[in-house]
Structures are given as C-alpha cells and as structure tokens.
Copies of this chain bind each other. A is one copy, B any other.
C-alpha cells in the first residue's frame, strides 16, 4: 500500500516534491492543488488531477499527507494551521525567528483534528538544525559555526532589485575559505559577520541608470550589505539569464567542542551540503518527512512536530531490520 501524497502549490517546491514522490516507490501522488485556474496548470505526472484549492476538502480521506509548498512570508503562516485541520501536513517554514509562533498555531490546529503536522523541514531549518542539535548534545562545551553558500540569496537579490535604476539582480552569499579553514583546524576563532561571508552581486541596470550610485547604495545598505565585503558586477540581462539562473546552494555546520579532565581534547564535527538544486534538495527532505509523518500518525501521534522530534529510521522506506543490517 502506497502513502498517498497531495501537493499544495506548484512553484519550484511543488515541482520538486512531484519529482521526489515519483522517485519513491512507497508513495503515490494523488493530486496537485492550486490557487490558480487548474486548467492553466500542466504537471509532469500523467493521470494525476490538478484541483482547485477550493475543492481540497473533497480529498480529506484520499490523502495521507499533504505537502505544503507555499512561501514562508505569507502563505504558510495561514495555510499550515488551516490544512492541519484536514490532513497530516509537512511544510518548509523557514523564518527562524517566527518558528515558536508558527509552532503554537499549527500545534493547536493539528491536535484538535488528531493530525500530525511537521514544520520547518528542509536544510536550514532542517538538516542543519539536526546537525546542530546532535552535536550540541554530544559536545556540550563547544562553539557552533554555520556558513551558507555558495548560493543565491533570494532576500538579498530582492533588496538589490528594489533599488532605483536596477532592472534585475542576483546576489551570491559566499563563505570565506580562510574562516572555514580556521574552524576546521580547531582554532575556535571568534568570527565577525564580515569574517564569515562575502557577498557578490550581479546587477542589470535600467537604461541611463547611474552605476556608481547603485553600487554605493548596495554596499552601504544596512543589515543586507553594510557589514560585509561586497562586490558588484554590472552585466547585461542576457548574461544574467545565461549564467546566473542556477539554483545551486549549500553550506557548512560545525561544532568544535572540548572533552577531557583538563579540556585537553578538541573535536570537530562538520556537516556540509553542496547542492546543484536548492529546491529539489529541500523537497527531497519534505518527501522523506512526509513518510515519517504518515508513520507517526499511524502510531497515534498528533500535533506539531519538527525534524528534531522524528526518529531517523522513520524517514526511510527501509525496514528497521534492513537499516540495522546495512546502514547501522
């Protein structure tokens, strides 16, 4: 028997979930739900209906886990509590500061309905959170370091696009190699914001815009760029589309911690990701979590969870016996 999956939202995340479900022999895609006119949407999986979100209640007993593929800014704060009343759900809510509030809202809805809702799945929050929690539990006396990149930051690219005279832009966050090496070597450095990451911007100007003024405005923008070493390149829109449309990303989580009677032993735990496609990796995580949500619900769990609450074996389609024999 397959785990019956629904997808709500068909942007980059929805498309990635569709691919990841197709690659999971224990799952089947039941329907894709959209706020758009369903007839305007063509999906990859043959024979699977595209349904208006207005009709989602019809699928209450036909879907085991609904994977919510909306954005964190405005979609998920509303959608996750709303759909947790009807389905087991999984989301990728990634506004770190608002996780406690989101958790509380989703928990109330999911508990009342007897469903499992897993929030904030992906790689950060998600796999990077797991790396931090495991390594903090093992090495309580230590320091955490998280680096992101090289990859495009959507928020920073948007900030540049809001500048007058800018037609289009992409911004790469790049970890500083010497900082990575200092952490890796066990030096436990104190690193400022500027020490950890540089920012590289590729900018397409509107006709007649003042390049020097735009560059100055970028480099001096508070929070986004002022605290970083920032490089600005002006390029044509053609070059931007050709060379800067990729969705690669990644990053590094370190814990450097001490043990021993005199704290004489240092240990470095490093977890890193190098991803050709940020959305496809994120959705691969979402789909594994959907499997776990299904199993947890079958065991009687309800309410809001995060990946920190999921026994790792539940993410796998292998039996506990297979995991113990082959991967333990």
Contact = CB atoms under 8 A, between A and B. Distances in A.
Contact of A137 (B141, B268, B281, B317): B317
B260 A266 contact: no
Given A44-B261, A132-B327, A324-B100, A186 B311 contact: no
A120 B325 CA distance: 12
Interface residues of A, number: 69
A313 interface: yes
A274 interface: yes
A303 to B, nearest CB: 11
Interface in A267-322: 267-277, 280-281, 284-285, 288, 291, 306-313, 315-318, 320-321
Given A132-B327, A137-B317, A270-B270, 10 more contacts: A16-B259, A44-B261, A120-B328, A130-B134, A130-B312, A138-B281, A259-B277, A264-B276, A266-B276, A269-B272
Interface of A: 16, 19-20, 23-24, 44, 96, 99-100, 103, 120, 125, 127, 129-134, 136-141, 184, 186, 259-261, 264-277, 280-281, 284-285, 288, 291, 306-313, 315-318, 320-321, 323-325, 327-328
